[in-house]
Amino acid sequence: MTDNDLPVIAHWFDGAPAGSAGGRTAPVYNPATGAVQAHVALADEADIAAALASAQRGFDVWSGFSIAKRQSVLFAFRELLNARKTELAAILTAEHGKVLSDAMGEIARGQEVVELATGFPHLIKGAYSENASTGVDVYSLKQPLGIVGVISPFNFPAMVPMWFFPIALAAGNAVILKPSEKDPSASLWLAQLWKEAGLPDGAYTVLQGDKVAVDGLLHSPEVQSISFVGSTPIAQYIYETAAKNGKRVQALGGAKNHMLVLPDADLDLVADSAVNAGFGAAGERCMAVSVVLAVEPVADELVAKVTERIAKLRIGNGAADVEPDMGPLISGQHRDKVSSYVDIAEADGARVVVDGRGYTVDGHEDGFFFGPTLLDAVPTSSRAYTEEIFGPVLSVVRVASYDEGLALINSGEFGNGTAIFTNDGGAARRFQNEVQVGMIGINVPIPVPVAYHSFGGWKKSLFGDAKAYGVHGFDFFTREKAVTSRWLDPATHGGINLGFPQN
């Protein structure tokens, strides 16, 4: 088969797949084999215009649906997703590389938000104050914004879009999703499901592409808001550009999550948690643990326990009959970048306890694999410590005290997630109060909040003031009006009064 015979992954306009006008494409790989398996359309200006027109048509119909009708579409979508999620998991594994059970976990966490969104009438009803002043009632309405843009990263091609679109749609908006061009197929599978669930055409529109598509959304006056998840430099660019263009914006960025281990912690629990949170999804999670801060004297024992566990990890094709623990990285380029961080750590004086560089899997020699890597005594001045690696590399930093560990966490530029492992309730309570991070685990390594709380970090992990999903999500995707109403009784007409209205 030549490259030209491969399928082209399309946009989704007006309830159907749509080819690209300009013909630009990018390759989509199977990371486990390293082979190009498809090409994805990359939008140009004509596609952006078509996406906007599709979404506008969708909004015009969908925003007129009653609450009860919208709710029945959401319930139907939830049922279809629940019944057919293994199909979606296979797509995620084939394009992202994560193992199938992890892909199912990703979908479950997205489905949680769909389930929350089915209860939207309670969350978007306004308030009513009767007789705020004599004969005057005051009440609020929550209306959809219109067309909203969602721009997502490669590492959660189903879950991250589902952090936003169920709530945006529930509130009556039309969504344009711009998925990652590295694993774009999940967006179309979800589109087909919306169609079957009864969503009007265009209310869920997919615009495939790269920076051109993103910039098109950022600069289109029709797009009312942008929800972005990705790396910090792009999140900052999105935040600044969308805000300059008068849009509502939430832009979630990168991370460098630390796990603080106090000497009284259960070290077997800590070692299990560090391995699960460090190497799950090959470390390509924004909530992955990348640094273990070991408060002495536990570091030697902990490093030994983690090393033992790494030796038992099975790495391979996430779609194999006997499922491995960990799959490949997203691309050869990314694998080389991860590898270069291990070189940097070593050159800066870290001890490479387990070395994943040059890792290969039999029968999958061209796959983008990188072995689980453990670094000890990583200097905090090293770029391997300060920058996000986004791969299966766990760094141990030895500290003398809780205070030294806390100061390190708080001095970092990111503030996405963190965890403390201890049996001391007082220390844990102090930590939750003092740490400058948005999501905290206490003996929990990946503290992704449930759907009815909200997801978001601090500092350079979130630009904007609205987190994803939960109450924040409903506030973000609605615009409030306050109505002050009086039904005039001629006998009480107050006449001319230029003073500021008072009670």
Please give the distance of CA 170 from its chain centroid, rounded to a whole number.
Answer: 19
With binding defined as CB under 6 A, does residue 154 bind ligand NAD?
A: yes
Query: Given the rule CB under 6 A, which of 34-42, 92-100, 124-132, 145-153 is the region that contacts ligand NAD?
Result: 145-153
- Residue list 397-436, contact with ligand NAD (CB under 6 A): 416
The total number of residues shown for the chain amounts to 503
Cα–Cα distance, 68 to 24 (Å, whole number): 42
With binding defined as CB under 6 A, does residue 159 bind ligand NAD?
A: no
Query: Given the rule CB under 6 A, which of 174-182, 266-274, 303-311, 480-488 is the region that contacts ligand NAD?
Result: 174-182
- Residue list 210-239, contact with ligand NAD (CB under 6 A): 210-211, 214, 229-231, 234
Tell me if residue 467 falls in helix, strand or coil: coil
Closer CB to ligand NAD, 73 or 147, in the complex: 147
- Asked about 286 being catalytic, the answer comes back as yes
412 close to 390: Cβ distance less than 8 angstroms:
no
Q: 279: which 2 tokens?
A: 């190497």
Closer CB to ligand NAD, 181 or 201, in the complex: 181
Closer CB to ligand NAD, 367 or 464, in the complex: 464
223 C-beta neighbours (distance < 10 Å), count: 24
Cα–Cα distance, 179 to 210 (Å, whole number): 9
Give the CA count within 13 Å in the CB-facing half-sphere of 4: 0
Task: Report the residue from 151, 197, 361, 409 that binds ligand NAD according to the rule CB under 6 A.
Answer: 151
Q: Which of 180, 279, 174 is nearest to 224 (CA)?
A: 174
Task: Report the residue from 30, 33, 111, 152 that binds ligand NAD according to the rule CB under 6 A.
Answer: 152
Compute the least distance from the CB of residue 239 to ligand NAD, in Å: 12
Q: What is the DSSP string of 100-158?
A: HHHHHHHHHHHHHHHHHHHTHHHHH---EEEEEETTEEEEEEEEE-SEEEEE--SS-TT
Closer CB to ligand NAD, 211 or 429, in the complex: 211
Tell me if residue 227 falls in helix, strand or coil: strand
- Alpha-carbon distances, residue 239 vs 178, 221, 438 (angstroms): 16, 16, 18
Compute the least distance from the CB of residue 200 to ligand NAD, in Å: 25
Query: Given the rule CB under 6 A, which of 57-65, 130-138, 177-185, 342-350 is the region that contacts ligand NAD?
Result: 177-185
With binding defined as CB under 6 A, does residue 461 bind ligand NAD?
A: yes
With binding defined as CB under 6 A, does residue 453 bind ligand NAD?
A: no
Task: Report the residue from 25, 30, 173, 180 that binds ligand NAD according to the rule CB under 6 A.
Answer: 180
- Residue list 301-360, contact with ligand NAD (CB under 6 A): none
Compute the least distance from the CB of residue 111 to ligand NAD, in Å: 17
- Residue list 243-302, contact with ligand NAD (CB under 6 A): 252-255, 286
Q: How many residues interact with ligand NAD (rule CB under 6 A)?
A: 27
Task: Report the residue from 30, 33, 155, 317 that binds ligand NAD according to the rule CB under 6 A.
Answer: 155
Helix (H) or strand (E) holding 250: strand 248-252
With binding defined as CB under 6 A, does residue 473 bind ligand NAD?
A: no
Q: 151: which 2 tokens?
A: 């721009």
Cα–Cα distance, 216 to 401 (Å, whole number): 50
Return the residue nearest ligand NAD (CB atom).
230
With binding defined as CB under 6 A, does residue 97 bind ligand NAD?
A: no
Compute the least distance from the CB of residue 250 to ligand NAD, in Å: 10
Q: 372: which 2 tokens?
A: 């689980």
Closer CB to ligand NAD, 30 or 152, in the complex: 152
Provide Rg for the chain, Cα atoms.
25
3-state secondary structure 154-218: CCCCCHHHHHHHHHHHHCCCEEEEECCCCCCHHHHHHHHHHHHHCCCCCCEEECCCCHHHHHHHH
Compute the least distance from the CB of residue 234 to ligand NAD, in Å: 4
Closer CB to ligand NAD, 359 or 458, in the complex: 458
Q: Which of 242, 286, 302, 396 is catalytic?
A: 286
407 close to 302: Cβ distance less than 8 angstroms:
no
Task: Report the residue from 153, 318, 412, 473 that binds ligand NAD according to the rule CB under 6 A.
Answer: 153
Cα–Cα distance, 228 to 176 (Å, whole number): 12
With binding defined as CB under 6 A, does residue 44 bind ligand NAD?
A: no
Judged by the rule CB under 6 A, the positions of this chain that interact with ligand NAD are 151-156, 160, 178, 180-181, 210-211, 214, 229-231, 234, 252-255, 286, 388, 390, 416, 457, 461
Active site members: 286
